[in-house]
Chains A and B, each alone.
Chain A
Amino acid sequence: MMDSQLLQFLGSLAAVAAVVVLTHFLGFTRGGNISDEAEARTLFQLAPGGFEPVEVALDADRRGAIARDEAGRIAVLMPHGGQFIARALGGDMRCCVEGERLAIEDSALGQKSVALNLGDAAQHWASPVPPAR
């Protein structure tokens, strides 16, 4: 009885390992891409508590995005595996600009930070109150 259960577990474990290796081997390791601004908007709207973006900027590689709503709140899309997660930032956002890259840390992101390649707009998004465009 106990032996057959152990055997079953080991068999399942081997199958799990084989499938994971196969998944890796078949190339299911690429991250996702945001296809366009419209998709970014629908993803931002899924942020917990809701978020209606009025201004959106996509990462140059489409591996993330940043947005501002009417009230001036900031939200980001951060990659998670092949998908994206929308998080509205808490207001204690710390960002630093290095050339065209904007790195963001915030309590709403936990331990993670988000790095976006925003081109010339990096500085624009780094300022807490957006300058009029």
Chain B
Amino acid sequence: MDFNPVTYAIPAFVLLIVAELLWSKWRRPEAYESRDTATSLAIGLGSTVAGALTGGAVAALLVWAHAITPLSIGWAWWAWPLCFVLDDLAYYVFHRSAHRVRWFWASHVNHHSSQHYNLSTALRQSWTGFFALSFIFRLPLAFAGFEPGMILVCGGLNLIYQFWIHTEVITRLPRWFEAVMNTPSHHRVHHAVNARYLDRNYAGTFIVWDKMFGTFTSEDDADRIRYGIVHQLGSFNLLKAVFHEWLAIARDVWRAPWRHKLSYLWREPGWSHDGSRETSTMIRERWDQAPQHETHSEGS
């Protein structure tokens, strides 16, 4: 099955970005910055090339997993919604790992590298996902008997869903929708560097996973969101955005004492063997303990 829904969505992505640009011109001129947008779009374009180069291998792996499993669900209509929901759960697990394991973070970080939050930010997709072995999170669905083509289409639809939530144009949606679905408000929290928002809201399409697994935080309008990564890049360089964390890992592994080398690969971002850096947990604790931040403590 050679159908990638994302390809067909690209023209709609472009039109929606133009619409948001025009809206921002009148209502929110700080929402866009031309060099930032150029970097976002270039990363997006590069990610389609990376996807084209490695897509065949991922499909082959899914076909292999599906072939060796005794389970086979086939193309029944009910398999589609089931596959979409389970693929979204797999995305949650992938995305949480992408923030809590530095190896996967190195591949995901470019999605968070912009200090802006607009529809063009959504296109900052990974170039190195295949190298990072991110596809292992999708194999369980093929082992469970889902058709590889169905898994790939559901994954593509999930990615398309996640495009439109990268905006500040929409403040809040109806309560029932915010309760079940990932929304611009929930995903703004995910892109925030504010201490209380770090490593929250990993959802792809359904926000219910975060609520089930205790990683949900709602947006507090009193706490203005600042976007990006804890150590802001300070560069519009495309290659730096895509590869900087891989280089940092290589440097850390090279310099670390032998017994700590592997930890720089699998521990959370910010972990260091000598405690010289901060993880998101440490940042949150520091923030909560500072008396002047009491009003912004967790759980409000």
Which of B67-75, B229-237, B244-252 binds A?
B229-237
Asked if residues B41 and A16 are in contact (CB atoms below 8 Å), the reply is yes
Total A-B Cβ pairs within 8 A: 100
Asked if residues B37 and A28 are in contact (CB atoms below 8 Å), the reply is yes
A1-43 CB mask vs B (1 if < 8 Å, else 0) is: 0000100110011011001101110111110100000000011
Whole-angstrom distance between the alpha carbons of A80 and B240 in the complex?
15
**CB interface residues, B 202-236, toward A, < 8 Å:** 224, 226, 228, 230-232, 234-236
**CB interface residues, A 28-63, toward B, < 8 Å:** 28-30, 32, 42-43, 46, 48-50, 52
Asked if residues A19 and B14 are in contact (CB atoms below 8 Å), the reply is yes
Whole-angstrom distance between the alpha carbons of A30 and B33 in the complex?
8
Asked if residues B33 and A29 are in contact (CB atoms below 8 Å), the reply is yes
Known: A15-B14, A30-B29. A81 touches B35 (CB 8 A): yes
The 3 closest A-B pairs by CB, nearest first: A83-B115, A82-B33, A81-B33
Interface residue? B169 (CB, 8 A): no
Asked if residues A19 and B290 are in contact (CB atoms below 8 Å), the reply is no
Q: What is the total number of residues of chain B having a CB less than 8 Å from a CB of chain A?
A: 47
- Chain B residues, Cβ within 8 Å of A5: 52
Whole-angstrom distance between the alpha carbons of A9 and B7 in the complex?
10
- Chain B residues, Cβ within 8 Å of A50: 278, 283, 286-287
Interface residue? B200 (CB, 8 A): no
Interface residue? B193 (CB, 8 A): yes
Asked if residues B234 and A80 are in contact (CB atoms below 8 Å), the reply is yes
Interface residue? A112 (CB, 8 A): yes
Interface residue? A97 (CB, 8 A): no
Interface residue? B294 (CB, 8 A): no
- Chain B residues, Cβ within 8 Å of A42: 224, 226
In the complex, what's the smallest C-beta–C-beta distance from B12 to chain A, in angstroms? 11
Interface residue? B18 (CB, 8 A): yes
In the complex, what's the smallest C-beta–C-beta distance from B293 to chain A, in angstroms? 8
Residue among A16, A23, A26, A27 facing the most chain B CB atoms (10 A cut-off) = A23
Which of B42-50, B76-84, B125-133 binds A?
B42-50
Asked if residues B41 and A85 are in contact (CB atoms below 8 Å), the reply is no
In the complex, what's the smallest C-beta–C-beta distance from A123 to chain B, in angstroms? 27
Interface residue? B292 (CB, 8 A): yes
Interface residue? B171 (CB, 8 A): no
Whole-angstrom distance between the alpha carbons of A26 and B23 in the complex?
11
Whole-angstrom distance between the alpha carbons of A89 and B35 in the complex?
26
Interface residue? B267 (CB, 8 A): no
Known: A5-B52, A80-B232. A52 touches B292 (CB 8 A): yes
